[in-house]
């Protein structure tokens, strides 16, 4: 009882939108499709829904091949970026519309609409019309329509993009709660790594039509398969620095190096890419093996409770993610500390060769 | 990203349309082609004439004059209606009940059938009872559309302007409405003059609707028939006889089926040609845009 | 050069406003100093666009005065106010080249061509638009267009303030920070007052030295990003700034303690005294998720909470827990031990805020 995509290709004219994607979504799972714009998220969702047929490959639902079955004959619902509702119908009738189409009994419709509306906190708005509502409430109505009919598959195509960030926070929390109890497969497309983390569940990282990695959200985040996945699944992106491993040290250039420890001595000598997360770089020494680096501030971006510090030196540009509000002047010279024991290492082809083992408490 | 499902069975859905087009356009047109290469005496007697009718039509001095007259007319009305339409659109109120009232008033002429327009102006310009005819005479001008070719021409142009300028005005009005308020605000802050606002904000945004307007009005005016037929009957002399009227006279009045079939085809080809030139020009303009936009 | 003062300003869109709800802007006085980088931050519908339009002159306030350098400008149209504005969607003159776009405001006031050229080149150089000068403005990318519209404000040497209305809305996420940096550079280079309107805390606090947070037609706090974060002056600021926002619990004051229901919240006497002096029933304690200390084992004076769930957000975690009925969010570092079932919270006094009728009560910390 699951949704399986088997080696799906989707080609339109000369351009390949989806290339060789295989994915198995478990029943009752919440799945995030993470990727930049044009990564193929929407196309993949449309293939899952049956709005498109794949050029090659199979789509299996509950063990049944549904590759050519059009969307009307599948039990699927979808929520879009835009707040799509019937403007001339009340919120009640909007939510009821899929049930009315399915000729569900009147009593039953009333019951289920009220139940859904209560879940989404719009019960007091049932008599209103969509255009009288705020953006958040309109999107709740659209979600109500998707949730009311007990679909086997619910697709969310960046549903929160057009809402401001406070509303997004609330929605994410609610969606997590909502789907804990549901037994359908949910797929949620987003461009924001932090949204994927906040939603939890499983994450599939997409890039240019290909699936980079799929797994439990934390696992994909903490153990990316390669540089690209690590970069796609981090905001601000993970800092990547080219470096050389010799017998005794890891060096970034003549002046910047650190002695290999037990971990890095296991790597064969040669060129690697080292990855360090923006939030792991600090302004003070936290560990004896931290690497001290002189940098110039390019910009400090402050987000209410956090600071994103863009810095650079002659060798590389780094982004720091600091908790709290920190003011820096542009072009100010500062010293930052890179934790060598929290560094990832990738080989020349980008494949991961070392995952830091610092994560305790689990 | 818009993707479509490819399914060749969809072509079947086109078949009924194809049949309809065949009956409504292709078959009648082919009949005309058929007549244009034959000399028909009666149901059983006909001769193949080749391109003779075409040669005759093209060399016919009367038709040549009508063609020139037709072009002159189309360009005259376009030259008046386009700027006038833009001007009216610019002056129209932007919101409130005034906007609706003006819209309705301006739309009125568009709702009147062609031959009724002719009749209205026929009465309007009469020297004995028509408001305009009598008025002009009172002012001391010897206005007479049945005698004076200039008067007849001017009146037909005026009538066409009255009838069709609202179309251009409406198109431009909708084009102007679609300009975001921020553009006007920015222009005010930049201290742009009224003329600069028109030249650099309004006119560029109107190009697209104007292209449609000009194309429509050209085709319309090139085929004008009922109004001058009712108003002047093509006279005095043949001074206001336009192409379609010449054709009607030839086909219905004189029953010259062969030449009028040839004439019809030439007429059709001229309109097609002008529209094609126009269409390609626009397409090139847009391709140009897209290419440069892609930099 | 301008100092912009809003004096007893209020605005209502209705003819005869009777209640405070009829006002889009409730009565306020505010000063924007010459050369400052300011932000006007608030959710949609808080009145920030109305206020912006009043400053730029597109709207005449129904009450009070707008004063530019001691001169009341209420009746002056935008073109006479020496301000420039950058809109949410880029406004450029499509058919003109970038050069002509930048030259437009100068030519409109009859500047001789010999002066236009060097000035336009100078501004294009600052904005990194030199390579685009001969291109048609229509074909620029969104961020280049926004730079052009900003440039049209900068070329005029009589412009004393630039207003930005959510200028980065249509910019690619990857390019946003570069444009933010450019804005800051320009602010440092030109001695121009800049007011940046946005609903995004990141945009506001990155750009501005001081932020006016608007809520329901009022400025509820005017302060630096640090002040907004560490000492929100209004519960709305606490909620709106920071992700997640500040935690609040309703409390009542007895003679020696602050009570949440029957539960005594361990706070210093100073705070209790302050609460008692407020003379209102609407008392709240606020603390940010970042400042709550968490222990897995009970300690003296700790508050016991039941853990609802813990979200792994990559390099930190957010723990949701219940103190009685109140949902608390606590930020945990990735190296911090994870509590199970029950957790024990401690509120450092320095980071606790007391709110009476939604406004912060200032307390001297000894």
d(CA C219, CA C18): 21
What is the percent of chain A with per-residue pLDDT over 70, rounded to a whole number? 98
Beta strands per DSSP E along chain A = 3-12, 15-25, 30-34, 56-61, 64-65, 76-79, 153-157, 185-190, 202-207, 210-216, 239-245, 249-251, 257-259, 270-276, 291-303, 306-312, 317-323, 333-338, 344-346, 352-354
Q: Indicate whether A235 pLDDT > 90.
A: no
Classify residue B55: in a domain, yes or no.
no
Tell me: pLDDT of A341 over 70: yes
Q: How far is CA A179 from the centre of its chain?
A: 17
A110 pLDDT exceeds 90?
yes
CA angle, residues A223, A226, A230, in degrees to nearest 5: 65
Determine the pLDDT at residue B293.
40
Q: Which CATH architecture has domain A3-232?
A: 3-Layer(aba) Sandwich (3.40)
The answer as to whether B125 is a domain residue is: yes
Name which of C96, C108, C152 is nearest B193 (Cβ-Cβ). Answer: C108
- Does residue B279 belong to any structural domain of this protein? no
State the pLDDT confidence band at B2, using cuts at 50, 70 and 90: very low
Residue C181, strand partner residues: none
Using DSSP's 3-state secondary structure scheme, residue A4 falls into strand
Please tell me the distance in Å from B18's CA to the nearest CA on chain C. Answer: 41
Choose from A63-77, A88-102, A169-183 the range with maximum mean pLDDT.
A88-102
DSSP for C67-103, written as a single string: EETTEE-TT--GGGTTEEEE-SS----TTSBHHHHHH
Q: Average pLDDT for residues C233-254, to the nearest whole number?
A: 92
Query: Which two three-digit tokens encode residue B163?
Result: 């009838």
pLDDT in tens, A126-140: 999 998 888 888 999
% of chain B residues with pLDDT over 70? 92
Interface test with A, best of C223, C226, C242, C315 (most A CBs within 10 A): C315
Strand pairing category for C353-356 and A249-251: unpaired
pLDDT the model gives residue B286: 62
Instruction: Measure in Å the smallest separation between the Cα of C314 and chain B Cα atoms.
Output: 31
CATH number, domain containing residue B149: 1.10.3720.10
Pairing of β A185-190 and β A30-34? parallel
pLDDT in tens, B80-91: 999 999 999 999
Query: For residue A68, which phi and psi values (nearest 5 degrees)?
Result: -100, 0
Out of C173, C229, C314, name the one closest to residue A305 (CB): C229
Q: Which residues of A touch C (CB under 8 A)?
A: 135, 164-166, 169, 173, 176, 191, 193-194, 197-198, 200, 217-218, 221, 234, 277, 279-280, 298-306, 308, 310, 321, 323-325, 327, 330, 358-362
Instruction: State residue A361's pLDDT score.
Output: 32
The values of phi and psi at residue A9, to 5°, are -115, 145
Fold of A239-354: OB fold (Dihydrolipoamide Acetyltransferase, E2P) (2.40.50)
| Rounded CA Rg of chain A | 24
Cβ-Cβ contacts under 8 Å for A32 (sequence gap 6 or more): A187, A188, A189, A190, A195, A196, A199, A201, A202, A203, A204, A217
Can you name the CATH fold of C243-361?
Answer: OB fold (Dihydrolipoamide Acetyltransferase, E2P) (2.40.50)
Pick from C149, C143, C142: nearest CA to C98: C149
Range of the domain at B127: 70-255
Q: Where in chain A is the domain with CATH 3.40.50.300?
A: 3-232
Beta-strand (E) ranges in chain B?
Answer: 38-40, 46-48
Residues sharing a CB contact under 8 Å with residue C39, sequence separation 6 or more, in sequence order: C195, C196, C197, C198, C203, C204, C205, C207, C208, C210, C211, C212
Which among B188, B200, B201 has the least Cβ separation from residue C79?
A: B188
Examine residue B44 and state whether it is found in any structural domain, yes or no: no
Residue-level pLDDT at A295: 95
Query: What is the total count of domains within chain B?
Result: 1
**How long, in residues, is chain B?**
295
Domain ranges of chain C: 4-224, 243-361
CB within 8 Å of chain B, chain A residues 17-46: 17, 38, 42-43, 46
**Per-chain mean pLDDT for chain A:** 89
Nearest to C328 by CA among C221, C235, C249: C249
What is the complex's ipTM, to 2 decimals? 0.83
Closest to C196 (Cα-Cα) out of A89, C188, C187: C187
Separation of alpha carbons B111 and B103, rounded Å: 13
Helix axes C142-154, B181-189, angle to 10 degrees: 30
Contact assignment for B191 to C84 by CB distance below 8 Å: no
- Chain segment C2-44, per-residue pLDDT in tens: 788 888 888 888 888 778 778 888 888 888 998 899 999 998 7
Got the DSSP string for C254-267? -SS-EEETTEEE--
Whole-angstrom Cα distance, residue C153 to residue B204?
Answer: 22
Beta-carbon neighbour count of residue A196 at 10 Å?
27
Residue B177 burial (CB count, 10 A): 12
C87, C95, C104: residue with CB nearest B190: C104
- Where residue B1 falls among pLDDT bands split at 50, 70, 90? very low
What mean pLDDT value characterizes chain B?
Answer: 81
Name the pTM for this structure. 0.80
What is the rounded distance in angstroms from the CA atom of residue C86 to the CA atom of residue C150?
6
Measured CA to CA, the distance from residue B88 to residue B75 in angstroms comes to 20
At how many degrees (to 10) do helices C142-154 and C173-189 cross?
A: 10
CB–CB contact C149 B292 (8 Å): no
**Which one has a higher pLDDT value, B38 or B166?**
B166
- Domain C4-224 CATH (choose: 3.30.470.20, 3.50.50.60, 3.40.50.300, 3.30.465.10): 3.40.50.300
Flag whether pLDDT at B294 surpasses 50: no
Distance CA C4, CA C247 (A): 36
Cα separation, B258 vs C119, whole angstroms: 72
* CB-based contact C241 A304, cutoff 8 Å: yes
3-state class (DSSP) for residue C28: strand
């Amino acid at each position: 009882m699951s949704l399986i995509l088997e080696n799906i290709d989707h080609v339109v004219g000369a351009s390949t939108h989806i290339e060789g994607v295989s994915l198995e979504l478990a029943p009752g799972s919440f799945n995030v499709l993470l990727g930049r714009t044009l990564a193929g998220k929407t196309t993949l969702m449309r293939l899952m829904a049956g709005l498109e047929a794949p050029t090659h490959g199979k789509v299996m639902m509950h063990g049944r091949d549904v590759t050519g079955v059009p969307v009307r004959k599948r039990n699927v619902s979808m929520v879009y970026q835009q707040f799509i509702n019937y403007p001339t119908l009340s919120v009640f009738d909007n939510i009821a519309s899929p049930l009315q189409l399915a000729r569900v009994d009147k009593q039953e419709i009333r019951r289920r609409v009220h139940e859904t509306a209560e879940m989404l906190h719009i019960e007091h708005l049932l008599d209103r019309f969509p255009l009288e509502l705020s953006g958040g409430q309109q999107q709740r109505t659209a979600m109500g329509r998707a949730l009311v009919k007990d679909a086997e598959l619910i697709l969310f195509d960046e549903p929160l993009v057009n809402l401001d960030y406070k509303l997004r926070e609330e929605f994410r929390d609610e969606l997590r709660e909502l789907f804990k109890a549901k037994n359908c497969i949910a797929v949620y497309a987003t461009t924001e790594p932090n949204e994927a983390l906040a939603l939890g569940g499983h994450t599939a990282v997409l890039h240019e039509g290909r699936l980079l990695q799929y797994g439990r959200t934390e696992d994909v985040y903490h153990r990316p398969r390669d540089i690209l996945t690590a970069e796609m699944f981090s905001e601000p992106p993970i800092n990547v620095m080219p470096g050389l491993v010799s017998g005794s040290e890891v060096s970034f250039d003549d002046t910047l190096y650190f002695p290999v420890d037990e971990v890095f001595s296991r790597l064969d000598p040669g060129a690697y890419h080292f990855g360090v997360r923006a939030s792991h770089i600090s302004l003070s020494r936290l560990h004896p093996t931290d690497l001290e680096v002189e940098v110039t501030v390019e910009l400090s971006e402050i987000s209410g409770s956090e600071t994103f510090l863009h810095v650079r030196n002659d060798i590389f540009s780094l982004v720091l993610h600091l908790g709290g509000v920190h003011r820096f002047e542009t072009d100010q010279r500062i010293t930052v500390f890179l934790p060598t024991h929290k560094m990832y290492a990738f080989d020349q082809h980008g494949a991961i060769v070392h995952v830091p083992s610092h994560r305790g408490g689990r | 990203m818009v993707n479509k499902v490819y399914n060749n069975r969809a072509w079947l859905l086109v078949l009924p349309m194809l049949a309809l087009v065949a009956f409504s356009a292709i078959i009648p047109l082919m009949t005309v082609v058929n007549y244009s290469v034959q000399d028909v005496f009666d149901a059983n007697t006909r001769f193949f004439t080749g391109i003779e009718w075409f040669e005759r039509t093209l060399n016919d001095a009367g038709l040549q004059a009508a063609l020139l007259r037709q072009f002159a007319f189309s360009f005259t009305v376009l030259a008046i209606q386009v700027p006038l339409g833009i001007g009216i659109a610019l002056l129209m109120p932007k919101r409130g009940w005034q906007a609706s009232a003006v819209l309705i008033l301006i739309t009125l002429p568009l709702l009147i059938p062609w031959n009724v327009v002719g009749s209205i102006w026929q009465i309007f310009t009469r020297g004995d009872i028509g408001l305009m005819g009598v008025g002009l005479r009172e002012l001391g001008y010897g206005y007479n559309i049945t005698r004076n070719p200039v008067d007849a021409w001017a009146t037909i142009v005026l009538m066409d302007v009255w009838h069709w300028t609202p179309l251009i005005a409406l198109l431009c009005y909708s084009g102007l409405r679609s300009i975001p308020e921020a553009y006007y605000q920015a222009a005010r802050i930049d201290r742009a003059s009224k003329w600069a606002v028109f030249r650099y904000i309004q006119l560029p945004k109107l190009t697209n609707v104007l292209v449609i307007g000009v194309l429509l009005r050209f085709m319309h005016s090139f085929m004008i028939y009922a109004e001058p037929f009712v108003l002047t009957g093509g006279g005095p002399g043949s001074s206001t006889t336009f192409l379609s009227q010449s054709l009607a006279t030839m086909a219905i009045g004189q029953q010259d089926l062969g030449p009028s079939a040839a004439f019809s085809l030439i007429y059709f080809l001229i309109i097609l040609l002008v529209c094609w030139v126009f269409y390609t020009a626009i397409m090139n303009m847009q391709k140009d845009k897209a290419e440069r936009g892609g930099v | 050069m301008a100092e912009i003062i809003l004096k007893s300003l209020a605005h209502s869109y209705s003819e005869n406003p009777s209640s405070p709800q009829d006002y889009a802007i409730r009565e306020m006085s505010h000063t924007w100093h010459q050369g400052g980088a300011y932000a006007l931050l608030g959710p949609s519908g808080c009145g920030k666009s109305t206020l912006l339009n009043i400053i730029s002159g597109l709207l005449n306030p129904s009450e009070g005065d707008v004063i530019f350098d001691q001169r009341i400008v209420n009746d002056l149209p935008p073109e006479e106010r020496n301000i420039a504005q950058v809109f949410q969607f880029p406004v450029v003159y499509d058919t003109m080249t970038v050069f002509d776009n930048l030259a437009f405001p100068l030519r409109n006031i009859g500047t001789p061509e010999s002066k236009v050229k060097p000035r336009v080149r100078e501004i294009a150089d600052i904005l990194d638009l030199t390579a685009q000068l001969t291109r048609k403005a229509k074909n620029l990318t969104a961020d280049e267009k926004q730079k052009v519209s900003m440039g049209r404000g900068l070329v005029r040497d009589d412009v004393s303030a630039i207003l930005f209305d959510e200028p980065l809305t249509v910019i690619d996420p990857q390019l946003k920070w570069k444009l933010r940096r450019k804005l800051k550079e320009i602010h440092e280079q030109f001695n121009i007052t800049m007011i940046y309107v946005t609903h995004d805390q990141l945009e506001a606090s990155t750009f501005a030295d001081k932020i006016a947070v608007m809520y329901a037609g009022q400025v509820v706090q005017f302060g630096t990003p640090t002040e907004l974060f560490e000492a929100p002056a209004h519960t709305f600021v606490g909620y709106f700034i920071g992700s997640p926002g500040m935690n609040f619990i309703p409390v009542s004051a007895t003679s020696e303690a602050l009570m949440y229901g029957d539960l005594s919240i361990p706070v210093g006497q100073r705070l209790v005294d302050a609460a008692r002096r407020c003379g209102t029933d609407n008392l709240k304690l606020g603390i940010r998720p970042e400042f709550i200390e968490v222990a897995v084992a009970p300690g003296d004076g700790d508050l016991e909470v039941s853990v609802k769930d813990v979200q792994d957000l990559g390099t930190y975690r957010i723990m949701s827990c219940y103190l009685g009925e109140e949902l608390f969010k606590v930020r945990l570092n990735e190296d911090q031990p994870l509590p199970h079932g029950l957790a024990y919270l401690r509120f450092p006094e320095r980071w606790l805020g007391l709110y009476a009728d939604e406004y912060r009560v200032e307390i001297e910390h000894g």
